[in-house]
Structure 1
Amino acid sequence: MSPRLSGAARTAVALGLLSLFSACAQNTTYAKLDPARQSMALLEVSQKQARGQRVWCVPYARNLSGVEIRGNAKTWWGKAHNTYERGTEPDVGAVISFRATNGMPLGHVAVVSDIVTDREIIVNHANWHRNKVSLKMGVKDVSKHNDWTLVRVESLPGQYGKFYPVNGFIYPNVDG
């Protein structure tokens, strides 16, 4: 059972997260990620954890990216059709949509926070490690045709795990 935080402690955590991500927003890694969205997404996670609630990838990705899709991660690719642009090229701020598998029956979504090479990106996501947010995790394209249909995700720093099928990337709508 999670310990309850007092109102003052929750405020201190929120202010700490806001200052942390305001500082990170000045780093080029977060050039296209909205610092206010980053703070809001992490604040919601910390509030859920303080209440003993589960942290899921979908609300975290929605809050961080601005891609307003609801439902299990495995449905995002289909629901994005005719509402959001979709494609096979990573872009900072885009949502990478993982297909459902036997080990991941609800699918998974993560937000691209940096592009390292044409075959390696960095993502921020929730619940890859149960009930936690993982920042700056590597993802490598290992697909035969270099089209981001199959990836490996960094499980520990420098260690890449199993192969995961990917639908592609969902790009947030840009105002203007």
Structure 2
Amino acid sequence: MLLRRQTDAAATRKTTAPGRVLIALKTLLAVVFCVALSGAPADAADKSAAKPPKPVTKPVQARMTLPAEKPRPQAQSTTRAQRWTCVQYVQAYGDVKLRGDGWQWWDNAAGQYDRGQTPKPGAVLVLKRTGHLRSGHVAIVSKVIDKRTILVDHANWGWSRDTKGRVHVGMRVVDVSPKNDWSQTRFWFEPGNTLGSRTYPAYGFVYSPTPKRPGLPETRGARG
């Protein structure tokens, strides 16, 4: 009986000894695991604190640059500035209404208007046709200064672009004929601000039905 009890005790010790070791190992592992768990957050916190937070970047949208709008062209007038001839100007603003080239007005006035060699306001000075004036010329007398000097309003006097088609108001004309009959005339030369050196032969004057200066517009510089 005693021997059996000793045998059971020995068996018990054999079975309990490994269990205790296992329990001790489990306990040790649990302690190590707890320590590891307790130390991990601190390390992670230290590492996260050491690194600065990354800036939050928003996606950059590409900006579209539109081309500058070109200025719209202004509407241009469909009418051009009037380009006058001497006949057109006298017909429009004078009281003598005749047709034909300038030099033809002298003969065409016969039987319709009085003619003479003395200047009067409103009369039309008629120049003859020459190599320089192939169509002659007509001008309205705007003022009589003296027997040999008058002022005329006319158009298309000259050959340059600055004078072709242009209206000249109050231009001086001088009689240089020997008999003071206005058969030889000289016109004021505007570019040189002096009396021109060229002499233009004239028929004389076709008188207006109303011997006074007509109401002429200030159209100096009109050109085509």
Is this a same-fold pair by TM over 0.5? yes
CA distance in 1: counterparts of 2:175 and 2:206, whole angstroms: 16
How far is the alpha carbon of 1:53 from its aligned partner?
5.7
Counterpart amino acid of residue 174 in structure 1 = T
1:144 and 2:178 aligned: yes
CA distance in 1, matches of 2:76, 2:104: 34
Tell me which residue corresponds to 1:165.
201
Aligned to 1:107: 136
Alignment of structure 1 residues 100-139 onto 2, 5 Å:
100-128=129-157, 129-139=163-173
Whichever residue aligns with residue 98 of structure 1, its letter is L
State how far apart, in whole Å, the 2-side matches of 1:87 and 1:72 are: 19
Distance apart, 1:51 and its partner CA: 2.2
When the two chains are superposed, the root-mean-square deviation of aligned CA atoms in Å is: 2.0
TM-score normalised to structure 1 length: 0.69
Structure 1 unpaired stretches of 5+? 7-49
Moved more, 166-175 or 112-121: 166-175
After TM superposition, the structure 1 = structure 2 runs for residues 33-48 of structure 1, keeping only pairs within 5 Å, are none
Distance 2:197 2:204 in 1: 19
Q: Cα distance, 1:55 vs. partner?
A: 1.4
How many angstroms does 1:173 deviate by? 1.7
Per-residue deviation, residues 43-72 of structure 1 (Å, max 9, x unmatched): xxxxxxx52663100010122222110111
Alignment of 1:1-176 (within 5 A): 4-5=76-77, 50-51=79-80, 54-128=83-157, 129-156=163-190, 157-174=193-210
Task: Please give the secondary structure, in 2, of the residue aligned with 1:151.
Answer: strand
* Structure 2 counterpart of 1:158, one-letter code: T
Larger radius of gyration: 2
Q: Would you say the 8 A contact 1:154–1:161 is kept in 2? A: no
Q: How far apart, in 1, do the equivalents of 2:114 and 2:145 lie?
A: 22
Q: CA deviation at 1:81?
A: 0.5
Structure 1 residues 120, 4: CA separation in 2 closer, same or farther (over 3 Å shift)?
farther
Count of aligned positions? 130
Alpha carbons of structure 1 residues 158 and 70: separation in structure 2 relative to 1, 3 Å: same
Per-residue CA deviation, residues 68-91 of structure 1 (Å, 9 max, x unaligned), is 101111110000001000000000
Aligned structure 1 segments of 4 or more residues deviating by more than 2 angstroms: 3-6, 50-54, 157-161
Report if aligned partners of 1:74, 1:108 keep a CA contact under 8 Å in 2.
yes
CA contact (8 A) 2:95 2:210 kept: no
- Between the aligned partners of 1:124 and 1:108, the Cα distance in structure 2 is 12
CA–CA distance in 1 between the matches of 2:146 and 2:188?
Answer: 15
In structure 1, the partner of 2:48 is none
User: Is this contact kept in 1: 2:105–2:126, CA < 8 A?
Assistant: yes
What residue identity is the alignment partner of 2:156? N
Q: Which amino acid aligns with 1:147?
A: D
Answer yes or no: is the 8 Å Cα contact 1:93–1:112 preserved in 2.
yes
